[in-house]
Copies of this chain bind each other. A is one copy, B any other.
Amino acid sequence: MREPTYFILAALREEPRHGYAIIKRVAELSGERVALATGTLYQALDRLGREGLVEVVRDEVVNGRARRHYALTPDGEDALLAEAARMAEAARVVLRARPA
């Protein structure tokens, strides 16, 4: 799992969101470091949907504009937590080590 995917799942763990809201929340969560392009986002959402980590929970129209809401599935939450644990451990291996 790469960073864009990780933060997409992290944003959806807080609450279901539509695409544009995910982009904004990912920017916040990452300290403005990860600026998701729409190409990255929608392709990732398709893929995560096929993998069962994310699902569409609602389609609505607000002010003539469509909004599709996505939510994290239980498998998605498991994958996200596993990835967070993996990264924490990988970081620890380097940060605790004394340099040569």
Question: What residues on B are CB-neighbors of A7 within 8 Å?
Answer: 90
How many subunits of this chain does the assembly comprise?
2
- Determine if A91 and B99 form an interchain contact, defined as CB atoms under 8 angstroms apart: no
Known: A87-B88, A88-B88, A89-B31. A94 touches B3 (CB 8 A): no
- Determine if A3 and B100 form an interchain contact, defined as CB atoms under 8 angstroms apart: no
- The A contact surface, by secondary structure, is helix
- Determine if B93 and A10 form an interchain contact, defined as CB atoms under 8 angstroms apart: yes
A13 at the B interface (CB under 8 A): yes
Question: What residues on B are CB-neighbors of A84 within 8 Å?
Answer: 90-91, 94-95
* Residues 1-43 of chain A, each 1 if its beta carbon lies under 8 Å from chain B, else 0: 0110011001001110000000000000111010000000000
Question: What residues on B are CB-neighbors of A85 within 8 Å?
Answer: 91, 95
Q: Smallest CB–CB gap between A22 and chain B, Å?
A: 14
